[in-house]
Amino acid sequence: MIKRHITNSLLESLSYFPVVGIIGPRQVGKTTLSKYISKTIKKESIYVDLENPRDIVKLTDPVMFFENNINKCIILDEIQLMPELFSILRSMVDMKREPARFIILGSASPKLIRSSSESLAGRIAYEELTPFNILEVQSNIFNHWFSGGFPNAFLSPNNSIRHKWLNNFIQTYVERDLPMLGLSINRNTIRKLWVMLAHMHGNVINMSNIAKSLELSSTTIKKYLSFLEGAFLIRLLYPYSSNTKKRLVKSPKVYIRDTGILHFLLSIPDFNSLESTPIIGASWEGYAIEQIIQRLHTDTQYYFYRTQDGSECDMIITKSTKPIMSIEIKYTAAPKITKGTKIAFESINSTKNYVITPNTDEYMLHENIKVCNLKTFLSKYL
């Protein structure tokens, strides 16, 4: 089994919190990780799959089931299918409050599940499991970038199998998972929206244009984007704002979180084809940003920076609202810094400035700007 980078944090949470939630998109490895973790804690565990009719029958009387297994760690998979369990979990925890009573697995954010944060406040810790990070698999970076990090896609034996898996993954989300989370929308519309967002990948989102194309209101589009974000399918990267007098862009950028899904939605069959498309720079930018965010500490925040006059920086990492890193992402072996990026670095005034590429050596481009490849940055500077 590939060791996931949240393992140590997950074990730490289980040593203190009665309930630990592992959240992330479907097919990302939550079940595999939870079963592995359950073997390392000093408590017998029992696994309940809320998509399995046989397991659902066990919860006909959930209070009795939980009481009969009060000394075990109970793993509840796909908890979003039975949100009514959250209030029962609270009463079970209050009956016997000790670490690792429950591990809940969910394919939606706490915001989408809603009742978890209300019912289990102070009793639960959340850990997000993402698709494979490049440091977890130690793969050729171009293969990981093109294939994406979902285990079944990344580990597929060939492009044909990966293509079929991605198609089934997207179809399942469109036809079942998103409607199950409460997104009442025609399946053709949500797929069109998803493809539109893929074409906008790495760009500032224009709600009005999307709404006009789909003949929907901007308010409705915002709601749909919230669902896609809460299902871990897209990322909205918000602009950095400070006390600067410069006129800043106010709308977020949109990214398809997994580049394997991105390339499938754009009908790009292989890496050679990707290299010949105009989106390769945006694809690399989104990939690098996602890999970085996966490794960030919880006490940091992240943004992009762009002014109306053209000064821009792909990513800013802040701590306590103070910029600590400014990052420009380039798909080239010989990066150059534009005037707009230099101005952005000066305006942001972070303590460290980086230019990140796929595979260049580490060197100083200017007095306060360091060039390095993505793997070096992730392993050495985060």
The predicted-structure confidence for 107-141, as pLDDT tens digits, reads as follows 999 887 777 767 898 999 999 999 999 999 988 99
CATH number at residue 77: 3.40.50.300
- Mean pLDDT confidence for 138-156: 96
Are residues 306 and 177 part of one domain? yes
With respect to residue 288, please indicate whether it lies within any of the assigned structural domains: yes
Are residues 188 and 96 part of one domain? no
With respect to residue 34, please indicate whether it lies within any of the assigned structural domains: yes
Are residues 203 and 147 part of one domain? yes
* Residue numbers of the domain that contains 188: 134-380
Nearest to 313 by CA among 325, 327, 324: 327
Collapsing DSSP to helix, strand or coil, 153 comes out as helix
With respect to residue 2, please indicate whether it lies within any of the assigned structural domains: no
32 neighbors 1 (Cβ within 8 angstroms): yes
pLDDT of residue 321: 87
With respect to residue 338, please indicate whether it lies within any of the assigned structural domains: yes
pLDDT of residue 366: 87
Domain boundary among 70, 93, 128: 128
Are residues 141 and 76 part of one domain? no
Give yes or no for residue 247 having a pLDDT over 80.
no
Are residues 341 and 196 part of one domain? yes
The predicted-structure confidence for 25-76, as pLDDT tens digits, reads as follows 999 999 999 999 999 998 999 999 999 999 999 999 999 999 999 999 999 9
Structure token pair of residue 205: 């989102």
Identify the residue with better confidence: 354 or 181: 354
Are residues 374 and 279 part of one domain? yes
Are residues 220 and 247 part of one domain? yes
CATH number at residue 165: 1.10.10.10
pLDDT of residue 308: 78
- Model confidence at 180, pLDDT cuts 50, 70, 90, reads confident
- Mean pLDDT confidence for 89-99: 95
Which pTM was predicted?
Answer: 0.95
Structure token pair of residue 191: 């797929």
With respect to residue 75, please indicate whether it lies within any of the assigned structural domains: yes
pLDDT of residue 236: 97
Phi, psi of 136 (to 5 degrees): -75, -35
Nearest to 229 by CA among 270, 265, 183: 183
Structure token pair of residue 274: 């990707």
- Total number of domains constituting the chain: 2
CA distance 203 to 201: 6
Are residues 253 and 376 part of one domain? yes
Average pLDDT value over all residues in the chain: 94
Give yes or no for residue 239 having a pLDDT over 90.
yes
Q: Is 7 exposed, middle or buried (0-12, 13-18, 19+ CB in 10 A)?
A: middle
Lookup result for tokens 């492009």: 159
With respect to residue 1, please indicate whether it lies within any of the assigned structural domains: no
Are residues 270 and 170 part of one domain? yes
With respect to residue 191, please indicate whether it lies within any of the assigned structural domains: yes
Are residues 187 and 102 part of one domain? no
pLDDT of residue 244: 57
CA distance 374 to 377: 5
Domain boundary among 107, 128, 149: 128
Are residues 267 and 244 part of one domain? yes
The predicted-structure confidence for 359-377, as pLDDT tens digits, reads as follows 999 999 988 999 999 999 9
CB atoms within 10 A of CB 295: 17
pLDDT of residue 227: 93
With respect to residue 88, please indicate whether it lies within any of the assigned structural domains: yes
Looking at 95-99, 115-119, 238-242, 341-345, which range is the least confident one?
115-119
Are residues 201 and 120 part of one domain? no
The predicted-structure confidence for 267-324, as pLDDT tens digits, reads as follows 999 999 999 999 999 999 999 999 999 999 989 999 999 987 778 999 999 999 899 9
Domain boundary among 101, 128, 155: 128
